[in-house]
Amino acid sequence: MEDIILLGLGGHAHSVVDSIERNGKYNIIGFLDKEEMLRKRFKDYCVLGTDDELQKYFNKGIKNAFVTIGFMGQGTIRNRLYQRLRALGYKLPNIFDNTAVISENAEFEDGIFVGKNAVVNANAKIEKMCIINTGTIVEHDCTVGQFSHVSVGSVICGNVLVKEQTLIGANATIIQGKIIGRNCIIGAGAIVTKDIQDNVTQYGMVEKYRI
């Protein structure tokens, strides 16, 4: 198995660790996080240091890293960490839970997490650093833009475009053919039947723009 180091010990990290262990491809060295998190642990894995030690672990021969911080209200944190890891030379593999159903014709960039019982169907494209969480359905011919998070139980119907750094809330449904703009938050349980502009936070039944 190849070694991997994880960035951020929180709730999302617990899901990622579980999927890594189930797949048996990577050996988790531990976590890096904020200084106040030092020596905290999940299962057998400890917070070893802060993000400032990324270079040290790379020099020790650990070439794989994965960001285990969730969306946290915005995609910019995951974006920043991705840029830093890439600049240092780390590889950011994709972590797919072995219960996920993934089309052979789907396209994935790097640093992506696909959780338990998620479905990514034919000709879908998932751009870098996305989270496709537990029980989510991303249907055929969809694109989910970089640094976006599709929350648990969401349904993205066919031929939808979700632009970058957008959160689709738990159990939200995006009707086929719609466009969701950049830096949007679609609330839990929302039903979206119209396109959404950039930088919009929207809840409930979305039949027209409410900015």
Candidates 1, 43, 25; CA nearest to 96 is 25
Q: Determine contact, residues 68/8, Cβ cutoff 8 Å.
A: yes
Per-residue pLDDT of the chain (211 residues; tens, 9 = 90+): 999 999 999 999 999 999 999 999 999 999 999 999 998 999 999 999 999 999 999 999 999 999 999 876 667 889 999 999 999 999 999 999 999 999 999 999 999 999 999 999 999 999 999 999 999 999 999 999 999 999 999 999 999 999 999 999 999 999 999 999 999 999 999 999 999 999 999 887 655 544 3
For residue 119, give Cα distances in angstroms to 39, 77, 99, 104.
36, 26, 9, 12
DSSP H helices in 4-114: 11-23, 54-59, 76-88
Give the residue carrying structure tokens 């640093």.
111
Candidates 94, 105, 96; CA nearest to 66 is 94
* pLDDT for the residue numbered 32: 97
What residue type is assigned to position 144 of the chain?
V
Which domains does the chain possess?
2-93 (3.40.50.20), 94-202 (2.160.10.10)
Candidates 154, 146, 19; CA nearest to 71 is 146
Q: Determine contact, residues 109/126, Cβ cutoff 8 Å.
A: yes
* pLDDT for the residue numbered 208: 52
Q: Determine contact, residues 9/68, Cβ cutoff 8 Å.
A: yes
Q: CA 126 to CA 132: how far, in whole Å? A: 9
Say whether pTM exceeds 0.85: yes
Q: CA 60 to CA 58: how far, in whole Å? A: 5
* pLDDT for the residue numbered 16: 97
For residue 16, give Cα distances in angstroms to 22, 121, 127, 151.
10, 21, 18, 14
* pLDDT for the residue numbered 71: 79
